[in-house]
Amino acid sequence: MRHTKEDWVKANRAVATIFAIAGAVFGSWASRIPSLKNQLGIEPAELGGVLLVLAMASVLSFPISGRWIDIYGPAKVTRYLALSTLITLVLISFATSLWGLALCVAFFGASLGALDVSMNGWGAEIERQGSKSIMSSLHAYWSLFAGLGGAFGFAAIHFELSVLEHFMIVGLFMGVLAIPSSRVNWGGSAIQEGSPVFAWPKKHLLFVGFLMFGAALAEGAVADWAAIFVIERFHITEAIALSSFVIFSFAMFVSRMFADGLVDRYGAVSVCCIGGCLATAGIGMILLVPDFRIALMGFLLLGLGLAPVFPLGCARAANDSHVTPGQGLASVATLGYGGIMLGPAVIGFAAQHLGIFYGFSLILLCGLYQLFFSWSLKKSESGSTCLN
């Protein structure tokens, strides 16, 4: 089904809105984790179990969402999942026990994870029918609104709003924001032929999945370990150490906003390769320089280099010639989120036995992999349209 230029513009705005909503929801949830922990009297180990439930529910939802977008089309599935994600966010605030919270978080994680796959599928479909790349900017909106969601959570805590009041405000505001998106005329594509719910990535797509795994591992590692690393290495205060993550996050946002134009001009492979150079140089500076101010430049380069990988991987997976768009996205998303889940734990294990310096050095391997395996983003062999 082909669409007019006006349809394309409206759909582009609609999917960008969905990415923004997903980011705001995630930021809102993350900002109130300490409140829920204190409210329900949850121990740190129990909280870790709840967060594991969230991650596992998200991963298990990927192939299901992928199958849905193959059957019904990504636009239709995304609209329903955006609504269910807002509902399940509010549902979390009604939990009165550890087990109740775990159950609510499971529904929330499944809905948010499924939305992640479907909205990337819709974005890739819009990009495929247009004349320019959009995937990186879509992920930039997610990053921006995740930060805004966290900032609003800080304000909610400051003004002593309960978790229920906070999540109700977010749910209602984002629901109103989503209304125009639900009215966009975009039928989308659907694949009715029978196919497995999950397909392991084949050929080049497997390397794409590991690109996303490495980028996600590095991003999760910086989020969880950067402040600890710079405090130990440079002997600075916790408040100053947080600037490392702030600069990294800002660089990720800026890079994603400009990456689409660079992809259209130079190709996905070149953008990913240059990003690998920047990321490798950045982590090298962080590990080797003795001056914290120079190390901050390293975090800037690391964020700029890593940022395009995940959106480029999603676009490549949705246009692979060996699997359906839903299967492709589900498979690489599983590897990507595996990096987010396993990365901080692996670095923690290495830091425990070898020291934080060697644990944090694992990010260097991610940058080098991106540098040498960026070729996997080349066009699918059968000539399927994808980013290159």
Let me know if residue 265 belongs to a domain: yes
Confidence of residue 195 (pLDDT cuts 50, 70, 90): low
Let me know if residue 382 belongs to a domain: no
Answer whether 304's CB lies under 8 Å from 341's CB: no
107-122 mean pLDDT: 92
Is residue 122 located within the same domain as residue 167?
A: yes
Decide if pLDDT at 266 tops 50.
yes
Is residue 165 located within the same domain as residue 209?
A: no
Alpha-carbon distances, residue 344 vs 87, 151, 219, 221, 333 (angstroms): 29, 24, 9, 5, 18
Is residue 161 located within the same domain as residue 248?
A: no
pLDDT at 108: 95
pLDDT at 187: 64
Let me know if residue 191 belongs to a domain: no
Q: Percent of the chain having pLDDT more than 70?
A: 90
The structure tokens listed for 37 are: 């922990």
Distance in angstroms (rounded) separating the CA atoms of residues 270 and 306: 13
Is residue 267 located within the same domain as residue 237?
A: yes
Answer whether 40's CB lies under 8 Å from 97's CB: yes
Nearest CA-CA partner of 181 in 66, 86, 308: 86
Indicate the burial class of 167 (C-beta count within 10 angstroms; 0-12, 13-18, 19 or more). buried
pLDDT at 54: 86
Domain span including residue 14: 5-182
Is residue 217 located within the same domain as residue 127?
A: no
Decide if pLDDT at 326 tops 70.
yes
Is residue 160 located within the same domain as residue 254?
A: no
pLDDT at 16: 93
Nearest CA-CA partner of 182 in 326, 2, 15: 15
Is residue 43 located within the same domain as residue 144?
A: yes
Is residue 273 located within the same domain as residue 372?
A: yes
Let me know if residue 198 belongs to a domain: no
Is residue 151 located within the same domain as residue 246?
A: no
Can you give the CATH number for the domain in which 52 is found?
Answer: 1.20.1250.20
Q: Where are the alpha helices (DSSP H) in 132-162?
A: 135-158
Is residue 208 located within the same domain as residue 174?
A: no
Nearest CA-CA partner of 264 in 388, 383, 129, 126: 388
238-251 mean pLDDT: 81
Q: Where are the alpha helices (DSSP H) in 289-324?
A: 292-306, 309-317
Let me know if residue 141 belongs to a domain: yes
pLDDT at 387: 36
148-164 mean pLDDT: 88
Let me know if residue 195 belongs to a domain: no
Q: What is the pTM of this model?
A: 0.80
Q: 198-229 pLDDT, tens per residue? A: 556 666 788 998 999 899 888 878 876 787 88
Q: 1-23 pLDDT, tens per residue? A: 566 777 788 888 999 999 999 99
Let me know if residue 190 belongs to a domain: no
307-328 mean pLDDT: 84
The structure tokens listed for 364 are: 């260097």
Decide if pLDDT at 334 tops 70.
yes
HSE (CB half, 13 Å, CA atoms) of 51?
Answer: 19
The total number of structural domains in the chain stands at 2
Decide if pLDDT at 285 tops 50.
yes
Is residue 152 located within the same domain as residue 215?
A: no
Answer whether 364's CB lies under 8 Å from 280's CB: yes
pLDDT at 199: 58
Residues 6+ apart with CB under 8 A from 30: 146, 149, 150, 153
The structure tokens listed for 269 are: 């492979």
Q: 54-79 pLDDT, tens per residue? A: 888 988 898 888 889 888 888 889 99
pLDDT at 352: 79
Let me know if residue 38 belongs to a domain: yes
Highest mean pLDDT among 6-20, 291-305, 344-358: 291-305
Is residue 27 located within the same domain as residue 101?
A: yes
Rounded to 5 degrees, φ, ψ at 217 are -60, -45
Confidence of residue 374 (pLDDT cuts 50, 70, 90): very high
More confident residue, 195 or 87: 87
Q: Where are the alpha helices (DSSP H) in the chain?
A: 5-31, 33-40, 44-72, 74-92, 98-129, 135-158, 163-182, 204-234, 238-266, 268-288, 292-306, 309-317, 325-354, 356-360, 362-372
Decide if pLDDT at 303 tops 90.
yes
